[in-house]
Structure 1
Amino acid sequence: MAFTTQSHAGISFAERWAAFRSDMAEAHVRRKTYRITRNELSNLSDRELNDLGISRAMIKRIAMEAAGYV
């Protein structure tokens, strides 16, 4: 029975851990940006949204763009 080890091309555990934490922090910021944008736009009246040229159907897409998902 043969065992193989997975190589990470010389990347240390500390570097991988730091990259993981950085990715998680970035994901947190994106989620927060999405949530805040969506909530702020959802709280506007239809008239205020119309003044901005936004329909209620566009709120999710605009929030996703603001968070960098699109």
Structure 2
Amino acid sequence: MKFIESARNWMRSRRTVNELSNLSNDALADIGLTRLDIPTVARRLAR
């Protein structure tokens, strides 16, 4: 059960990384992020 939850969290994290990575630097700045923030934000949101 823990494995399935971990896999789902990883998939959500990857989806978020992909979506945020498609934004321009200006769009990221508008929401208070830089490209370096993307992995951290994605992991937090996937929990």
Tell me the TM-score range normalised by the shorter chain.
0.7 to 0.9
Could you tell me which runs of 5 or more consecutive residues in structure 2 were left unpaired when the two chains were aligned.
none
User: TM-score, structure 1 length as denominator?
Assistant: 0.62
Q: Which residue of 2 aligns with 1:24?
A: 3
Per-residue displacement from partner, 1:2-39 (whole Å, max 9, x unpaired)? xxxxxxxxxxxxxxxxxxxx112101111111100111
Q: Percent identity?
A: 36
User: TM-score, structure 2 length as denominator?
Assistant: 0.88
CA distance in structure 2 between the aligned counterparts of 1:27 and 1:54, rounded to whole angstroms: 25
CA shift, 1:47, in A, is 0.8
| Greater C-alpha Rg | 1
Provide the aligned C-alpha RMSD in A.
0.9
Do structure 1's residue 52 and structure 2's residue 31 form an aligned pair?
yes
Runs of 4+ deviating beyond 3 Å? none
Q: Which residue of 1 aligns with 2:45?
A: 66
Could you tell me which runs of 5 or more consecutive residues in structure 1 were left unpaired when the two chains were aligned.
1-21
The structure with higher relative contact order (CA 8 Å, sep 6+) is: 2
Greater fraction helix: 2
CA shift, 1:67, in A, is 1.6
